[in-house]
């Protein structure tokens, strides 16, 4: 039984409902590439650009992190993010092409670059260290439950009428709007901003601060290298999957939702509370290495689905997403909580903003690389290359663990 203090109970109450409503929203948004291909008949190039929106929008995160450090008026920024980053989905009724959808998603995801770092401030300040992992795991499990329920419902509705994606996305926007408003109600004790010596232009200051952070915090730098390589493998297959599932395997919305958003999330929902709990008690380096290795099997299994003759290809897709779900349970924990280990007495939002921005950097290169390999070679070569990135990232962290047996993240 969790024994929470008053602040933890108050925080988790809002955080849990936020996670559920946010999950309902993402149950729809995570079908964006499939809707673009199956309903809007977008080209592979347009789908590649759509797959880049979320990571590339995160490039703004270092500016958000630098801007919000030490600020007491974060609630006003939450309201702005709720209106522009969530209610903008109400304009989905004007979406007629994949390009229109691309423009809309730019608005939606740009404000995630603010929301994600602020969440880390909440984890850091409102949850005691010994409770942080399990409470994080529970909140993500609730989020995943929202994604699962939403995706199953949406998949069946889209098979009945694929053009229902417009009212569905409008409802997702309203759900996301209220989720962000709830997050704004959580009290945050803001750490004072630590000013560095010297004056730097505001446009380049976050970049200078990031370079300085990497120089001063070597462990964080290595952590980001491993995640950069992992992220290349993760993002490069996103433009490939829609045409692979829709055109080559002829999967319906219900089948795709079941694979990507039910099977792809259900094991994560079950495992995340345990992953969060053990994350605070073990060395994260081999833990992350194992998660990356498991994920390396997921694109390989996807590529085999069309060649093997043992099972129905769709069943093989389900197995690949089961493996994905298990691996992502570990990666999600590290992705959100890892920066807290490096922050020390600083605001974790600052380091998390760097971490999120690195997602944006790899988002500029990974999907186009996947598109290039797909168009000049084949889907299979793209899947194999993706697996190689995952396993390479795993080997880097395994080598680090072996070389420094007693290595722990700086705290």
All structural domains of the chain with their residue ranges: 6-188+205-403
Question: What Rg, from alpha-carbon coordinates, does the chain have?
Answer: 20
Over pLDDT 90: what percentage of the chain? Answer: 36
Q: Which of 350, 364, 336 is nearest to 53 (CA)?
A: 364
Using an 8 Å Cβ cutoff, are 166 and 39 in contact? no
Q: Domain 6-188+205-403: give its CATH architecture.
A: Up-down Bundle (1.20)
Q: What angle do CA 200, 219, 347 make, to 5 degrees?
A: 55
Lowest mean pLDDT among 10-14, 54-58, 315-319: 54-58
SS3 of residue 6 by DSSP: helix
Question: Rounded to whole angstroms, how far apart are CA atoms 327 and 322?
Answer: 9
Using an 8 Å Cβ cutoff, are 241 and 36 in contact? no
Model confidence pLDDT, tens digit, residues 296-347 = 999 999 998 888 778 888 999 999 999 998 888 888 777 766 666 666 666 6
The b/e string for 20-30 (b: 16+ C-beta within 10 A; e otherwise) is bbbbbbbbbbb
Region for 3 from its dihedrals, namely left if φ exceeds 0, alpha if ψ lies in -120 to 50, beta otherwise: beta
Q: What is the mean pLDDT of residues 194-219?
A: 60
Q: Which of 387, 230, 220, 401 is nearest to 299 (CA)?
A: 387
The model's pTM: 0.79
Q: Which of 157, 93, 123, 131 is nearest to 18 (CA)?
A: 123
DSSP 283: -
Q: pLDDT at position 339, please?
A: 65
Q: What angle do CA 345, 348, 352 make, to 5 degrees?
A: 150
């Amino acid at each position: 039984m969790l024994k929470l203090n008053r602040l933890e109970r108050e925080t988790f109450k809002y955080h849990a409902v936020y996670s559920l409503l946010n999950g309902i929203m993402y149950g729809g948004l995570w079908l964006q590439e499939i809707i673009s291909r199956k309903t809007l008949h977008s080209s592979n190039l347009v789908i590649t650009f759509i797959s880049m929106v979320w990571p590339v929008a995160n490039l703004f995160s270092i500016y958000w992190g630098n801007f919000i450090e030490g600020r007491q008026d974060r609630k006003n920024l939450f309201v702005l993010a709720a209106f522009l980053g969530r209610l903008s989905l109400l304009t989905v009724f004007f979406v007629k092409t994949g390009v229109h959808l691309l423009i809309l998603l730019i608005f939606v995801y740009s404000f995630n670059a603010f929301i994600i770092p602020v969440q880390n401030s909440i984890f850091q300040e409102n949850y005691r260290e010994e409770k942080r992992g399990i409470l994080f795991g529970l909140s993500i499990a609730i989020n995943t439950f929202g994604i699962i329920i939403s995706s199953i419902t949406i998949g069946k509705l889209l098979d009945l009428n694929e053009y229902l994606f417009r009212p569905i996305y409008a409802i997702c926007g309203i759900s996301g709007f209220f989720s962000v408003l709830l997050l704004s109600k959580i009290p945050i004790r803001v750490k004072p901003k630590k000013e560095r010596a010297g004056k730097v232009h505001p446009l380049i200051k976050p970049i200078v601060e990031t370079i300085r952070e990497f120089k001063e915090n070597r462990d964080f730098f290595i952590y980001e290298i491993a995640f950069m390589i992992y992220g290349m493998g993760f993002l490069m297959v996103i433009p490939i999957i829609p045409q692979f599932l829709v055109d080559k395997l002829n999967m319906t919305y219900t089948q795709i939702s079941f694979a990507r958003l039910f099977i792809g999330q259900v094991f994560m929902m079950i495992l995340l509370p345990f992953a969060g709990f053990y994350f605070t008690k073990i060395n994260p380096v081999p833990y992350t290495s194992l998660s990356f290795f498991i994920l390396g099997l997921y694109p390989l299994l996807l590529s085999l689905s069309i060649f093997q003759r043992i099972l129905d290809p769709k069943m093989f897709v389900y197995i690949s997403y089961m493996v994905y779900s298990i691996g992502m349970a570990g990666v999600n924990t590290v992705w959100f909580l890892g920066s807290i280990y490096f922050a020390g007495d600083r605001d974790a939002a600052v380091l998390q903003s760097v971490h999120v921005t690195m997602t944006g950097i790899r988002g500029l290169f990974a999907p186009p690389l996947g598109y290039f390999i797909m168009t000049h070679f084949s889907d299979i070569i793209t899947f194999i290359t993706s697996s190689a990135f995952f396993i390479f990232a795993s080997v880097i962290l395994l080598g680090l663990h072996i070389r420094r047996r007693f290595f722990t993240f700086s705290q």
